[in-house]
């Protein structure tokens, strides 16, 4: 039930970090992968092709919705099929709420929420016509919590949780599963500042029952599950992969 052989997947932000971990996990399960990135994704592409799967890299800037239709079209041309969309690309800006700028608000919300919706729409139109598929959004612990100094990120990831449920409600009858993964503290470029802050790093580790930062590969199993037939009756769910963070 977890076999993805013959399926085609789009993974945004697939050049590094969580996107890389998920792309490789999907490839291990048999999927061919289209990586969407605005910087070099050759390392991830090599990891996918080394597993015997097809891989294409689609260069796109997801700060606007302009490339959404093109991404779906190019993925279909390269892979011959589209069955899975992983909306992973995202950015974060940090500042006290009293000093947060409109620029930092718009940049994060546009990338993390607006483009996520319109890429889902573009992929959803194809999936609805072709028997269904799976959309997996990358949410966050801040889908459930408030956090500090990341106003636009918290707003965007709370929105991702809501959109996941909304799209599941509308598209379940069309054979499209829509779910999300909420990573805990994962060692990536986005969390480099926290890892480098000795005090915050210690506080974070003390609160994680698993006692360690997560790794991008820790997200792969959840993604394979949600993309597979094993999850065909799972809808609108936000699956935390957090080392127990939310259990505290």
pLDDT tens digits, 189-201? 878 888 999 999 9
In the chain, the N- to C-terminal Cα span, in Å, equals 32
pLDDT digits (tens, 9 = 90+) for 148-188: 999 999 999 999 999 999 999 999 999 999 999 999 999 98
pLDDT at 190: 75
pLDDT digits (tens, 9 = 90+) for 80-114: 999 999 999 999 999 999 999 999 999 999 999 99
Residue 138, classed as helix, strand or coil, is strand
pLDDT at 209: 97
Q: Quick one: pLDDT band at residue 118, thresholds 50, 70, 90?
A: very high
> What does the alpha-carbon distance between residue 228 and residue 120 come to, in Å, rounded to a whole number?
18
> What does the alpha-carbon distance between residue 247 and residue 159 come to, in Å, rounded to a whole number?
22
State the pairing for strand pair 133-138/8-12: unpaired
The two tokens of residue 179 are 């779910």
State the average pLDDT for the chain. Answer: 97
| Range with lowest mean pLDDT among 57-66, 185-194, 227-236 | 185-194
pLDDT at position 20 over 90: yes
Catalytic pick among 19, 108, 122, 153: 153
> What does the alpha-carbon distance between residue 83 and residue 133 come to, in Å, rounded to a whole number?
5
Identify the bridge partners of residue 182 per DSSP, sorted by sequence position. 240
Task: Summarize the confidence of residues 56-85 as an average pLDDT.
Answer: 98
pLDDT at 192: 87
Residue 179, classed as helix, strand or coil, is strand
Task: Respond yes or no: is residue 185 known to be catalytic.
Answer: no
pLDDT at 89: 97
């Amino acid at each position: 039930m977890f076999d993805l052989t013959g399926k085609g997947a789009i993974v945004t932000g697939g050049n590094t970090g969580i996107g890389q971990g998920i792309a490789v996990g999907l490839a291990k399960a048999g999927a061919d992968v289209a990586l969407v990135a605005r910087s070099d994704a050759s390392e991830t592409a090599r990891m996918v092709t080394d597993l015997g799967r097809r891989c294409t890299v689609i260069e796109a800037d997801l700060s606007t919705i302009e490339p959404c239709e093109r991404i779906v079209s190019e993925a279909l041309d390269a892979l011959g099929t589209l069955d899975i969309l992983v909306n992973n690309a995202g950015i974060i800006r940090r500042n006290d709420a009293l000093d947060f700028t409109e620029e930092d608000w718009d940049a994060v919300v546009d990338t993390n929420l607006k483009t996520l919706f319109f890429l889902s729409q573009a992929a959803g139109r194809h999936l609805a016509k072709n028997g269904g598929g799976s959309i997996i959004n990358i949410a966050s612990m801040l889908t459930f919590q408030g956090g500090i100094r990341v106003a636009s990120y918290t707003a965007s990831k709370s929105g991702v949780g809501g959109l996941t449920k909304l799209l599941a409600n509308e598209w379940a009858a069309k054979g499209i599963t829509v779910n999300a993964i909420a990573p805990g503290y994962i060692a990536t470029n986005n969390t480099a500042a926290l890892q480098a802050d000795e005090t915050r790093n210690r506080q974070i580790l003390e609160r994680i029952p698993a006692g360690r930062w997560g790794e991008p590969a820790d997200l792969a199993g959840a993604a394979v599950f949600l993309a597979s037939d094993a999850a065909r009756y799972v809808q609108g769910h936000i699956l935390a992969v957090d080392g127990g963070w939310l259990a505290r």
